[in-house]
Amino acid sequence: MPRGVPKAGFRKTKNKTKSDTVAYYEPIQIETDTEISQRISDRFEILEDLAIGSTTGEIRSLIVSGPAGLGKSYTIEKTLNQWDPNGTNYTIIKGYVRATGLYKTLFTHSAPGQVVVFDDADTIFFDDTSLNMLKAVCDSTENRTVSYLAESQLFDDDTAARLPKSFEFHGTIIFITNYDFDAMIEKGHKLAPHLLAMMSRSHYIDLSMKTKRDYMVRIHQVISKGLLDNVGLTHVAQQEVVSFIDANKDTLRELSIRVALKVASIRKLKEQKWEKIAKITCCR
Could you tell me if 190 and 55 lie in one domain? yes
Note whether 4 and 40 are same-domain residues: no
Burial class (CB in 10 A: 0-12, 13-18, 19+), 213: middle
Q: Are residues 81 and 199 in the same domain?
A: yes
- Residues 168-190 as b/e (b if ≥16 CB within 10 A, e otherwise) read ebbbbbbbbbebbbeebbeeeee
State whether 228 and 95 are in the same domain. no
Whether 59 and 198 share a structural domain: yes
Q: Are residues 134 and 232 located together in one domain of the fold? A: no
- Order of strands, edge to edge, in the sheet holding 61-65? 90-94, 115-119, 172-177, 61-65, 203-206
Q: Do 249 and 188 fall into the same domain? A: no
19 and 39 together in one domain:
no
CA 137/CA 115 separation, integer angstroms = 12
Listed residues 206, 223, 242: the one ending a domain? 206
Q: Are residues 20 and 90 in the same domain?
A: no
Indicate if 136 and 218 belong to the same structural domain: no
Q: What local confidence, expressed as pLDDT, does residue 6 receive? A: 45
Reported pTM: 0.83
CATH of the domain at 185: 3.40.50.300
Domain end, chosen from 178, 206, 234, is at: 206
For the chain of 284 residues, list the mean pLDDT of each consecutive stretch of 10: 48 52 60 94 96 94 94 95 95 90 92 95 88 90 83 63 87 94 93 92 94 94 90 90 94 94 93 93 95
How far is residue 23's CA from residue 6's CA, in Å, rounded to a whole number? Answer: 10
> Which structural domain range is residue 235 located in?
212-282
Same domain, yes or no: 189 and 251: no
**Among candidate residues 179, 206, 233, the one where a domain is terminated:** 206
The sign one gets for the Cα dihedral 189, 193, 198, 201 is positive
pLDDT at 261: 94
The verdict on 251 and 236 lying in the same domain is yes
What's the total number of domains in the chain? 3
**What is residue 232's predicted lDDT score, i.e. its pLDDT?**
86
What per-residue confidence (pLDDT) applies to 272? 86
Phi–psi pair at 75, nearest 5 degrees: -65, -45
Q: Classify residue 36 as exposed, middle or buried by CB count within 10 Å of its CB (0-12, 13-18, 19+).
A: buried
Q: Give the pLDDT confidence score for residue 7 in this predicted structure.
A: 47
Residue 193 and residue 197: Cα distance in Å, rounded?
6
pLDDT of the residue at 164: 86
Give the C-alpha separation, 103 to 109, whole Å. 10
